[in-house]
């Protein structure tokens, strides 16, 4: 009777494919060479293809065998990850997690949160990178990325919103004293503005004009590719800038910056955590994601 179990013989096949011959595979599995050979033969019969080129001393995969090994390896990794996830609630987590985030928001808001999340697991290792570039949502070696703004090309990604922040337009008191405070959008043309760069924060501003969100292009007097540097430049009087409130909240609170154009405020920006789309996350990545979502629910990223 044909074996209807689709996983029958898979572990034997994978071990044999990674061994020089069936004898070596049998030793690794604790089986006889005959048992390994019969298992492979049944698998080949069920699939209707030849998986191995056999000689007296060596076995080599056929082209079909190579393709099947790749599929089986991926399936076994997913099964292992699923089992680990189900049993990870009380396990000691270890290993490295690479998290990429915007410069200013990452340093001021996300970093303290990640330190708190990682502290209970001494074996957990963080690789943290900071960039304001938005061209690549997620590089190959990044496990989790924090991104501002709308997301594009997310077919291979999972995204969870952490917060929705208002954008504000601000300037230093010294700049406003020297250049005056704009009251309308049309007056921006007479002002110096600090905007992002091609591979950095946006070069456009988003405002609400009579209840409708508009995208405007202010004078790009100064272009800066780093959000942290933008905050410093505006604080030192270089011009007007539009930034998420979390990046300037302290500066507004202590008087180093003032909010302007209140009538046109109200546009918000989303902050997402994103990661590669997989059937199962590793326990350590899942732990970080769950921690970020829990902190988001507490309003830590607002």
195 near 226, Cβ under 8 Å? no
Q: Please tell me the predicted confidence (pLDDT) of residue 139.
A: 65
Residue 280: which pLDDT band, with cuts at 50, 70 and 90?
low
C-alpha dihedral over 165, 167, 173, 174, to 10 degrees? 130
273 near 205, Cβ under 8 Å? no
170 near 241, Cβ under 8 Å? yes
Phi first, then psi: what are they for 242, rounded to 5°? -110, 130
Output the average pLDDT for the chain: 86
Does 290 have pLDDT greater than 70? Answer: yes
Highest mean pLDDT among 28-32, 120-124, 253-257: 253-257
Q: Please tell me the predicted confidence (pLDDT) of residue 2.
A: 46
Average pLDDT of the residues in 221-250: 93
Residue 82: which pLDDT band, with cuts at 50, 70 and 90?
low
258 near 171, Cβ under 8 Å? yes
Q: Please tell me the predicted confidence (pLDDT) of residue 1.
A: 40
Tell me which H or E stretch contains 66: helix 63-86
Distance CA 16, CA 107 (A): 49
Does 176 have pLDDT greater than 60? Answer: yes
Spell out the domains of the chain, with CATH numbers in brackets: 10-86 (1.10.10.10), 92-302 (3.40.190.290)
Average pLDDT of the residues in 58-63: 86
Return the DSSP state at 156: T
Residue in the structure block whose two tokens are 């507490």: 298
Does 3 have pLDDT greater than 60? Answer: no
Q: Which residue has the higher pLDDT, 77 or 221?
A: 221
Distance CA 302, CA 290 (A): 17
Q: Is 147 exposed, middle or buried (0-12, 13-18, 19+ CB in 10 A)?
A: buried
Distance CA 264, CA 258 (A): 15
Q: Please tell me the predicted confidence (pLDDT) of residue 89.
A: 52
Tokens of 120: 């209970």
Average pLDDT of the residues in 230-248: 94
CA-based radius of gyration for the chain? 28
Average pLDDT of the residues in 117-128: 91
Distance CA 218, CA 204 (A): 7
Residue in the structure block whose two tokens are 């409130």: 245
Average pLDDT of the residues in 159-165: 90
Q: Which residue has the higher pLDDT, 298 or 154?
A: 298
**Model confidence pLDDT, tens digit, residues 137-150:** 566 678 999 988 87
DSSP codes of every residue in 112-151: HHHHHHHTT-TEEEEEEEE----S-SS-TT-SEEEEES--
Helix axes 283-297, 63-86, angle to 10 degrees: 50
The sign of the dihedral angle between the CA atoms of 279, 285, 291, 295 is negative
């Amino acid at each position: 009777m044909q074996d209807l179990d689709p996983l029958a013989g898979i572990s034997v096949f994978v071990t044999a494919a990674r061994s020089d011959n069936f004898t070596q595979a049998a030793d690794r599995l604790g089986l006889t060479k005959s048992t390994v050979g019969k298992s492979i033969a049944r698998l080949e019969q069920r699939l209707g293809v030849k998986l191995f080129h056999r000689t007296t001393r060596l076995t080599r995969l056929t082209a079909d065998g190579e393709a099947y090994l790749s599929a089986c390896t991926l399936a076994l990794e997913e099964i292992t990850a699923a089992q680990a996830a189900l049993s990870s609630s009380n396990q000691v987590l270890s290993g490295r997690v690479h998290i990429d985030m915007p410069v200013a928001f990452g340093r001021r808001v996300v970093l303290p949160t990640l330190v708190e999340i990682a502290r209970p697991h001494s074996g957990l290792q963080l690789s943290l990178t900071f960039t304001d570039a938005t061209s690549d949502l997620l590089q190959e070696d990044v496990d989790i990325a924090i991104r501002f703004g709308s997301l594009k090309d997310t077919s291979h990604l999972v995204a969870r919103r952490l917060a929705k922040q208002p954008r504000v337009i601000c300037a230093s008191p010294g700049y406003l004293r020297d250049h005056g405070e704009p009251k309308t959008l049309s007056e921006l043309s007479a002002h110096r503005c600090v905007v992002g760069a091609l591979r950095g924060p946006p070069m456009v501003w988003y405002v609400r004009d009579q209840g409708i969100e508009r995208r405007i292009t202010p004078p790009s007097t100064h272009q800066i590719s780093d959000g942290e540097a933008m905050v410093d430049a505006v604080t030192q009087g270089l011009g007007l800038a539009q930034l998420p409130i979390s990046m300037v909240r302290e500066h507004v609170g202590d008087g180093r910056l003032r909010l302007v154009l209140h009538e046109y405020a109200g546009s918000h920006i989303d902050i997402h955590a994103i990661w590669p789309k997989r059937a199962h996350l590793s326990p350590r990545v899942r732990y970080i994601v769950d921690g970020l979502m829990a902190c988001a629910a507490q309003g830590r990223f607002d």
